[in-house]
Amino acid sequence: MLKTLESIDFYLKAGVIAEKARSFARQIAKPGVKLLETAQKIEAFIIENGGKPAFPVNLSANERAAHYTPSINDESVIGDKDLLKIDLGVHVEGYIVDTSLTIDFSGENGKLLEASQNALESALSVMKAGVSFRVVGGVIEQEIKSKGFKVIENLNGHLIERYLLHAGVDLPNTPVSGGVLNEGDVYAIEPFATTGRGRVTDQNYCQIYSVFGGKVRGEIAREILNLVLTDFQTLPFAKRWLKLPYSELQIDLGLGEIVKNGAGTSYPLLSDSGLVSQAETTVIIESDGVRVLCDPKT
């Protein structure tokens, strides 16, 4: 459906905040700074500027591709030569802008960053209503391969709806069969380029969850479910965001029950076998192109 003037206004406001947050993230992300401090400062900046985090800030370094947000006890710091992906989201009244940037602190991976950034720009240049997913994925893959790298084939862009970061439709980064872009739809486009095998796998680390609602029996699980639906609705949240008078083990058990009963899902850390760069923005599909909601070069 075509977006209403009200929803477009919310998207545009979220986009402005996201651009400011990108610039702020570049300023504060430095070698030696704790990941937890970096994430918390970016999330606070989003709130101070009139938005809310659409999901926990992801700080995925090197072979880590996505879903690394620090735990409340995380003491790790940004490394001198880290290739750091900063993935952040802003929502205003549930209207989400999702964006990311990659910072190469080593100064040795310029071509890898260029591959994902050029792939994003190439995708934006062909996107408009009626264009097939195959065409979009094709230009992304071609651009990344032309630089000598691989596309991460099992990470995709995605349809966004109000309070739904992943609204059930993937926009592949490879030329596989699929649907077409429809006018008024909102998509996050996020090419990943890698020196590795081109496929991520789940790791034994998870700090991000979301809930959908449903029945759970445990008292703590019910309390978590009610709290999250009130504060974050169906958006992803970090375990460190839960302000509850329980131990970490009790919270883990409650979250585990929610996931096991299908009332929510978990987002484990995703890693490839080599270095990974990412570029991302969010757009509204129009009849003759796209409306870019957040400048991916800020």
Active site residues: 87, 98, 158, 166, 190, 280
Beta strands in the chain (DSSP E): 52-53, 58-61, 64-66, 83-92, 95-104, 150-151, 157-160, 170-171, 186-189, 192-194, 201-202, 208-211, 237-238, 264-266, 270-271, 276-278, 281-286, 289-292
List of residues 6+ apart from 1 with CB closer than 8 A: 184
Query: Comparing C-alpha atoms, which of 44, 56, 286 is closest to residue 181?
Result: 286
As beta bridge partners, residue 284 has: 186, 291
Q: Where are the beta strands (DSSP E) in 7-62?
A: 52-53, 58-61
Amino acid (1-letter code) at residue 134? R
Residues 98-130 as b/e (b if ≥16 CB within 10 A, e otherwise) read bbbbbbbbeeebeebbbbbbbbbbbbbebbebe
Q: Which two tokens stand for residue 79?
A: 């490394």
**Start-to-end CA span in the chain (Å):** 29
Instruction: Find all residues with CB under 8 Å of 265, minimum gap 6, and list them.
Output: 209, 210, 212, 259
